[in-house]
C-alpha cells in the first residue's frame, strides 16, 4: 500500500482588500483554474487534485475528516468528496496507529475510476497518512495569507490552521532529507 501527496507550485492571485464569504470561495479566487495541480498517489495510482476546482470543493470535508483522525486514537468515519473531478466516498477505520480506508471512486480527472476501484483499500499508519496532508494544508494557508484576501467566515480558516498545526511532521516528499 502506498500513499503520498505532492503539492506542486500553484500560482497564487493577489486579492488585496477583497473579501469572500467562505474558505472555499477564497480558494477559487486565489488559485487560478489553469495552474499546477497537487498529485495524490493512491496505491501507486496518481490522482490530480486541482486547487481551484477540486480542493476548494472538498476542503471542508477534508478538514473535518483530518480533525476526527487527529482527535481520536480509534474510530471510524465516512467522508464524501463531491468535486466533479475528485468524487469519492472514503470509509475510514483506525486503531492502534493503523488506518484502513475503503474508497469508492466515482469520478477523477483522467477517468480512471475503474483502476482506482480495483485498488480501493489503502492501509497505512495513521500518522503517515496525516503527515502527507500537512504541506498541502500549509500551501492553502500561505496562499490565502499571501493573496491578501479576507475570509468572512473564519471558522474554516481557524480549523485549517488548527489541523495543520496539529500534524506533527511533513510527508515523505517534504521531510528533511537529513532524517
Dump the DSSP string for 29-88.
Answer: HHS-SSSPPEEEEETTEEEEE-IIIIIHHHHHHHHHHHHHHHH-SSEEEEEEEEETTEEE
**∠168-38-150 over CA atoms, to 5°?**
75
Distances (CA, A) of 127 to 23, 144, 166, 176: 26, 26, 11, 17
Is 68's pLDDT higher than 50?
yes
Cα separation, 168 vs 159, whole angstroms: 16
Q: CB–CB of 168/129 below 8 Å?
A: no
- Say what the pLDDT of residue 1 is: 80
Cα separation, 81 vs 14, whole angstroms: 28
Average pLDDT, the chain: 96
Beta strands across the sheet bearing 38-42: 3-6, 38-42, 45-49
Q: Work out the average pLDDT over 49-69.
A: 98
Is 132's pLDDT higher than 80?
yes
Cα separation, 166 vs 53, whole angstroms: 26
Q: CB–CB of 116/131 below 8 Å?
A: no
Domains assigned to the chain: 3-174 (3.30.2450)
- 145-175 per-position pLDDT tens digit: 999 999 999 999 999 999 999 999 999 999 8
- Say what the pLDDT of residue 179 is: 47
Cα separation, 124 vs 92, whole angstroms: 11
- 69-110 per-position pLDDT tens digit: 999 999 999 999 999 999 999 999 999 999 999 999 999 999
pTM of the model: 0.95
Phi and psi for 32 in degrees, rounded to 5?
-65, 150
Is 177's pLDDT higher than 60?
no
Amino acid at each position: 500500500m502506498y500513499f503520498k501527496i505532492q503539492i506542486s507550485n500553484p500560482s497564487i492571485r493577489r486579492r488585496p482588500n477583497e473579501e469572500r464569504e467562505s474558505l472555499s470561495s477564497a480558494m477559487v479566487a486565489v488559485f487560478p483554474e489553469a495552474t499546477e495541480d497537487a498529485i495524490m498517489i493512491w496505491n501507486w495510482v496518481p490522482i490530480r487534485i486541482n486547487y481551484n476546482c477540486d480542493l476548494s470543493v472538498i476542503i471542508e470535508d477534508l478538514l473535518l475528516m483530518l480533525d476526527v483522525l487527529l482527535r481520536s486514537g480509534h474510530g471510524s468515519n465516512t467522508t464524501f468528496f463531491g468535486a466533479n473531478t475528485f468524487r469519492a466516498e472514503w470509509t475510514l477505520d483506525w486503531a492502534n496507529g493503523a488506518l484502513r480506508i475503503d474508497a469508492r471512486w466515482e469520478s477523477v480527472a483522467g477517468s480512471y475510476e475503474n483502476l482506482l476501484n480495483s485498488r480501493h483499500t489503502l492501509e497505512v499508519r495513521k500518522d503517515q497518512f496525516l503527515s502527507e496532508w500537512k504541506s498541502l494544508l500549509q500551501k492553502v494557508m500561505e496562499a490565502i495569507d499571501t493573496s491578501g484576501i479576507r475570509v468572512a467566515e473564519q471558522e474554516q480558516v481557524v480549523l485549517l490552521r488548527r489541523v495543520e498545526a496539529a500534524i506533527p511532521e511533513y510527508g515523505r516528499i517534504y521531510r528533511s532529507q537529513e532524517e
